[in-house]
């Protein structure tokens, strides 16, 4: 099974079921060979290597800028070998357009109610579906706000509205989860692209750091 536009650095999520605990591991592609992918197996999950035995079926989510493809794959080379490799299967393919990568990107974000600026704060992380933000004062759950922020290093402004899901106190500040309810699809795709590019840079930096050890 061959999927177009696969490339090194692309984010993936590997999932195993049927064990005492569900196992999920985020990583990225380090090589593409026809119907096989070489995947970086993160050191922090070394205790899970045992489960990725040859022939083990793995549910694989592959992240693109505006969609996520979920499909079956089989372990061909285990994490104990030089190149951890999965073979793609066409047993099932699901395309999801509402599963989002969440990236730790600090952004200056403005919140509005009735066209009035209420708060300027920062995000702790963001995805195409919402963001986590920090503020000096508490923000009531179920509060509805408009929001705006600029894509870093551009003049492009993202706008939309949504609702606060919850707020928790964290030391001397408050952390709130915000769900995006209404946004232009073009704007949402720009957020998704921003998050994927950020994750790729993080994985590339990790890869370069490992090569220096």
Q: Per-residue pLDDT tens for 29-87?
A: 999 988 899 999 999 999 999 999 999 999 888 887 667 788 889 999 999 988 999 99
Return the CATH number at 82: 2.30.110.10
Full domain range(s) for residue 186: 108-200
Residue 167: its pLDDT value, please? 93
Among residues 70, 96, 122, the one where a domain terminates is 96
One domain, residues 132 and 50: no
CB 58 within 8 A of CB 75: yes
Among residues 96, 117, 151, the one where a domain terminates is 96
Over 80: is that where the pLDDT of 10 sits?
yes
Residue 202: its pLDDT value, please? 75
CB 16 within 8 A of CB 73: no
Give a yes or no: residue 84 inside a domain: yes
One domain, residues 15 and 51: yes
**Which tokens belong to 27?**
């990583």
pLDDT (tens digit, 9 = 90+) per residue, 120-166? Answer: 999 999 988 899 999 998 899 999 999 999 999 888 999 999 999 99
Average pLDDT, the chain: 86
- Assign 194 a pLDDT band (cuts: 50, 70, 90): confident
Return the CATH number at 120: 2.40.10.220
Residue matched to tokens 């489960």 = 51
Beta-bridge partner residues of 122: 108, 134
Beta-bridge partner residues of 159: 148
CB 62 within 8 A of CB 73: no
One domain, residues 90 and 112: no
Domain count across the chain? 2
- Assign 93 a pLDDT band (cuts: 50, 70, 90): low
One domain, residues 65 and 121: no
One domain, residues 79 and 138: no
CB 167 within 8 A of CB 121: no
CB 32 within 8 A of CB 55: no
One domain, residues 189 and 120: yes
- Indicate the pairing of strand 11-16 with strand 23-33: antiparallel
pTM comes to: 0.57
d(CA 160, CA 154): 18
One domain, residues 150 and 86: no
* Better-predicted residue by pLDDT, 65 or 175: 175
One domain, residues 143 and 163: yes
- Assign 207 a pLDDT band (cuts: 50, 70, 90): low
Give a yes or no: residue 131 inside a domain: yes
CB 199 within 8 A of CB 103: yes
* 8-state DSSP, 176: E
One domain, residues 193 and 118: yes
One domain, residues 112 and 157: yes
Among residues 44, 64, 96, the one where a domain terminates is 96
Cα-flanking dihedrals φ and ψ of residue 40, to 5°? -75, 125
- Indicate the pairing of strand 116-127 with strand 23-33: unpaired
d(CA 69, CA 185): 19
d(CA 81, CA 52): 11
Residue 199: its pLDDT value, please? 77
Distance of CA 7 to the CA centre of its chain: 17
């Amino acid at each position: 099974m061959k999927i177009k536009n696969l490339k090194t650095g692309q984010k993936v999520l590997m999932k195993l079921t049927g064990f005492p605990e569900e196992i999920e591991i985020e990583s990225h592609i380090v090589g593409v060979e026809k119907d096989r992918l070489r995947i970086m197996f993160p050191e922090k999950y070394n205790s899970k290597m045992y489960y990725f035995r040859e022939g083990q079926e793995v549910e694989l989510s592959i992240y693109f800028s505006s969609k996520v493809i979920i499909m079956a794959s089989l372990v061909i080379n285990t994490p104990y070998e030089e190149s951890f490799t999965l073979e793609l299967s066409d047993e099932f393919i699901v395309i999801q357009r509402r599963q989002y990568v969440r990236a730790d990107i600090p952004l200056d974000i403005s919140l509005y109610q009735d066209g009035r600026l209420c708060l300027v704060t920062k995000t702790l992380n963001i995805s195409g579906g919402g963001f986590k933000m920090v503020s000096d004062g508490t923000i009531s759950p179920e509060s509805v706000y408009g929001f705006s922020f600029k894509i870093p290093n551009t003049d492009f402004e993202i706008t939309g509205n949504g609702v606060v899901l919850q707020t928790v106190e964290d030391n001397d500040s408050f952390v709130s989860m915000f769900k995006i309810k209404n946004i232009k699809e073009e704007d949402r795709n720009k957020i998704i692209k921003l998050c994927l590019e950020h994750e790729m840079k993080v994985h590339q930096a990790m890869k370069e750091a490992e090569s220096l050890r």
